[in-house]
Structure 1
Amino acid sequence: MQKILIRFNVQIHFVLFLTILNICSFVVHGQFTVPIDQKESALTQKALQGRLPDSVRVELVWNLGKYQMLNKPGKYKINLDSAMLYFKYSLKLVDSLKMKANFRYECMCRIGEVYFLRKEIRSGKSIYMRVIREYQRLGDKKREARTWFRLGIKLKNGEPLDPEIPYYLQKTITMYNELKQWKEVGDVMMEKGIYNKENIGNIAGNLDSAEYQLSQALKLYRRAGYKDHNLSLTFYNLSVIYRNKGKLDQSLANSIASIRSANSIGDTTTLGIVPYYGQLGLIYTDLGLYKKSAENYRKAIALSLRNRDVGIAMDITYNYLNELVRSLISAGKTKEAVVMSNSIMKVYPPADPLQYGIAAEIRGRCYEALMQYREAERSFLSMIHFYRKSGSLETLGYKVLSSFYLKQKKYALARQALKDQYNYLPINTMAFSTLIDDELSYFKIDSAEGKLNSAINHYKRYKTLSDSAFNITKSNQLARLSTQYEIEKKENDIIILKKDAQLEREKTAKAYFTRNLTLVAIAALIFFFILLYKSYLANRRKAAALSMLVKEKDQFLEQKEWLMKEVHHRVKNNLQIVMGLLQSQSAYIKNKEALRAIRNSENRMHSVALIHQKLYQSDSPGFINMPEYIDELINYLRDSFDLGNRIHFKKDIKFDNLNVNQALPLGLIINEAITNAIKYAFAGKVFGSVVVSFLPIEYGLYCLIVKDDGPGLPSGLDPLNIKSMGMNLMKGLSKQIGGKLSIEDAQGTSVCVKFKIEHLTDNSSNG
């Protein structure tokens, strides 16, 4: 109790401390740093001044959590822990103020999001499923659908290869279709398309399905008259797909549409628009229009450097700096490429393996253009090393290395590098221009090595692909799109200049206002510190008064916990004494049936004794770690029946801690099922295997299965009607936990118990 009070007190003061820091930031810079946008900034100011209700107080704490979770560079564990602290505090605040249930569920979802970012996937799913079940109970279809969607998106961010993501997204689409919310259906279709695009080669999806889903999202947005960030993002992802498929006319049209859409809603300065300009630069590079590509790369770099999220911005900056250097060198501006890259990397040196790899690639390109080939090769090999260390871009690195070796007429090394690039990425994910270059490279290598038939085949494929791309570049539509975009861009530049002039005038007026406001803010801060200090002294007196009571309570709790462990220890010892007596008695019994009954009793007692042993060894009273318990029970039975390696046991346990009220009956059922398999399925020293699985099958419903690959049940035998102690015991124990027992004959004998879990996790595991 004392620890909880102290933690609660620390949380309150920490929140107040950050609030003071934000007021200071407002005084110095004229804006708050915690909120994500201007709307949240205004709400936070009013909350600090006490003009809004309790819901806004919760929103303020949410903003602090979001700042730690999203705005801090790198998302380090300490930042995520801080975010978790704020969100759990907001949950306590909601409960103490007895606010609407929706506030509580939103707090829970934010806690789940932090779990996903911390890679604690099971905990994150559990939180979201609890919220979904509550909305199902309330019949709130809209919020249920939104929570399914959030679960899929947050899980995609935390564990993109999780096989349940497509199910969550499709579930959302079905519900939104039933609700006829077309804009929301478009949002989910867009995310599903992006998911398929990003996971190509890892899942059973492809670019065609991603193209279809994004096109459907675009139709739904137009149907709903929707114009927002997601519309721009849909155009952008369609452009990426069309470029990878070699449809440069459609890629260019969608790339221009993404920028036009972003400009129409004023989204021209955020980090999100940077890839739009970068994508347009890549298309112009494929078309050989290096001047236009360099112009767009410069725009992307300038916008990324302007962003406050330094970690993400610098990854993007290095990527497009690499492309800018390539365009400048291709345009014969090597000196400008060297000066540009050196100036940026000097101010923003590489900070991680990915950035070191890109920096090495940039240096290699510059050395190669300057004909310093030894330094270029050293840089390119360093590039491969860092790309491999970062776990990304290694495929493109081998492509660069192959091109370098080909120019140096090192054909064997060039061929090996070309081959290596496909070890890390499937061919159907390569950009169209990359495939054209690869076919031409193979043609040159085969020609140089005298492999004429192979060279001719590669040249034919090269001509087929390049002719297609060439025809696209010659089309009137392409020229018309490019010209129209240039006109719009100049008009937008004029509008931006006018806005900049207006902003300068407003900034001057704001400076005078800030100066006057500073004096008032300083006086308010002094008053605030006095109140805070008085609150600190009052809390300190209360803490001292409660300290003795809490200390006595902690002592009583420790004594109770010790006594409970002692009881379990003694019960376990008593059971072992009884087992020892039975073992001694069995030495004098000649009747096989009696001896078998005694042996079965020993095994049953051991399964119960093992439960009590786990209880007095556990730090979570009342809960049993099922994987450890089942493993020790199997080892005991293997030794008891002297199986050696005759029977192979396999385990598939997807559950950790289980309430002892259910763990004890399940342990006895496992004991009976394995014992029957040993005695009847593998009698006569027959070799075989037994599989023990404990898996979820529905929400809150689990299944325990013990299956052997023996001869199976005799024909016509109904095992549930067998009158034996073991069968009666399994049926009685199944009813005791509210479960259903079934025994089936399927390439062996399968014993299955389906039941509902009383408590998913113990309190200690929830932290």
Structure 2
Amino acid sequence: MKSKKLILILAITIVSAYQGYAQSISPKIDSLRKLLKVSRADTNRVKLLLSISRLYSDLEYSDAGKPDSTLRFSRQAYALSRSLKYARGWARSYITVANGYRQKGNIPQSRRFALRAVDLCNRYGSADDRADAYVALSFTYTIEGEDLNQKIEHYKKIIPLLQQVGDKQKLAGALRYRGDLYQIRDDYTESLRDLKSALTLYKSIGFKRLDQVYDLIGLVSGRTGHYQQAIQYGLLALKTARECNDSSLLGTYYNRVGLVYDALRQFETAKLYFHKALLIAQKHKDKSSELIISLNLVASYYQLSQYGQGITLLKKISKSNLPVDNSSKIFIEVSYLQMYTKTNQVLQARQHCTRLLKLSESLDSSSISWRYIYDAIIPFYLVTKQYKLAQQLLLLDSNYLVIEKPSLSYFSANQLNWFKLDSALADYSSAIRHYRLYRDFKDSLTRQITSKQIKELDLQYRTEEKENNILQLQHQTKIQEAELRTAQLTRNFSISSAILLVLLLGLGFNQYRLKQRSSQILEAKQLVIDQKNQSLEQVLSQKEELLIEKDWMLREIHHRVKNNLQIITSLLDSQAIFLEDRAALSAIRESQNRVQSMALIHQKLYQSDRLSVIPMADYVTEIVDYLIDSFDRQDTVQKQIDITPLELDATLAVPIGLILNEVVTNSLKYAFPNNRPGLISIELKKLAGQHYQLLMVDNGIGLPTDFDPGQSRSLGMSLINGLSHQIDGDLHISQNNGVRFRLNFSLDKMVKESEVS
């Protein structure tokens, strides 16, 4: 699956690049054909025929590609070269014939003529001719298996020949292409060496179209775990493409930057880049890219627990005419199964599980697709209490991990599934052991990502520091040279004055001594200033390091709090497996929802650039989406959310989130019985000064006539009243065609309380 995806990405890149190129070739062909009509039967005519044939060959990846035209003009060039005994034209005509047969899909015939071209060019051609012959031969090989190795070996011959020619742009293009081949072979060290050499050559000649080189360097950097460098070069590729007014590859670049953020587990940012990539693919009607990007976007929705949006996109993919191969079908069914399992839609999940098992029958035992299949089916078996089947698949999954040794995230998921199975079977000793292994793998993965980022940031900081030190040393050297020249001039002047003006010798000597004393005083003062500057720099450096350390510690605290809350959710989930009483199950579900609303706060805090405030628009939307999905009411209950752009301190956002959780939960449980359709409206608006109003309304059946919110002893109403009092808010509950909760609160009061505390 990995190699197929790489080939598809490469094909997308080539096709997109040539679509714009084809438009510039057609006028050149028309111009050369006019010259051909008035040309004589000499070597210049051979060159014209070869140029036309080569241009038709360059249209290979466009809709205008005409292999018959390539072959026709190549054969004319060959016949005329033979009659003129023009050996170089004869050799080059074999190159264009080989290209023509490759266009027609006749690879054996193309390789036969390419080998003849190599032989003739080695005898009669220049270094440039020999390089072109090897290029034609290399294109008769694919980028899989041994063919890929052959292709690279040919480029090992091409690049020294182009170095002899001295055409820097052509040499840079060959290095870029070989660097791409190395990354497909997972030889990332060689790939980066070629790509950076290509970049240096391109820059030396002022070549502007550097976006493809930047993109490939970013791709390889991401594969080697250097995520900051991957993002840096990915953004350079986007910037360069926009500066050149070329949008043909922007979709590919946005998608690859999104994949880097996905690897960093910054799923919100990844989702943003996937959205941009998808819009560009749809604009260019690039169906292959649209499919790949859509599936990446589905994966982001799953990681963000936005299951409703993920299922909607999957249905859209299923109804579209996108080119879906077997690997993509497997990924689609895996995504359906995972999301329906997470939302407890067992009937739909079972249907997709059956389809997935059917698709997997044709897979090889070493296929990477098994990893995704295990990840989807095992949780489904656990939820549906098919523990024996879950255990069988977990054993297969564990064996697969031992053999294939994928990333730590897969080992982490495997141990979590073992923990859930052992918990369900009441084997608590084994469950605890697997849970510890799960935490170890997950923490190792987090440290792995974080440590690489810190090292890269540290390296960048140290490099800049060294460059600044070098500049300071150069500046000090210039000052010393100036002082030396001044001293020499003073000495020469003193000697000349002594010879010419003997009577003024004493005065001149005194002046010299005064200047020397002044210089010493200045040097002493400069030394004091330098020492103070160094002390100040050390203090500033220590302060910056402490601020960075504080920032990472705060992120780690929020991360650990979020993880602990998720542990509570997992334990509640494990407890729910053994409960039969509906009231108890409902209470556990509501507790999970409350914990989730608090966990979401801490997740947003450690993923955000600002570690103390919460963007309420995103937070409220995610809570409501989560609750609607949790109660499986996304088809019957609509939401209407209008939030004033506002960021609240976490101490205020937590109680408001819990109040919102209780109100929406009550609406979903009681306002719309028997799957009755309904609407839940949430509005957060600014009043006068620092006063705000949170309005929560549903159009359900309303409260019972004898219900008094102030006297209610239910846990939900107790929480609502208690939390409203905690933030010194004014809560009012009324009903008119439904229930209406209005909460007025003030930021001024919260600020004063925080200052006092």
Bin for the TM-score computed over the shorter chain: 0.3 to 0.5
Query: For the pair shown, which has the larger CA radius of gyration, 1 or 2?
Result: 2
Question: What TM-score do the two structures reach when normalised by structure 2?
Answer: 0.47
Q: TM-score w.r.t. structure 1 length? A: 0.47
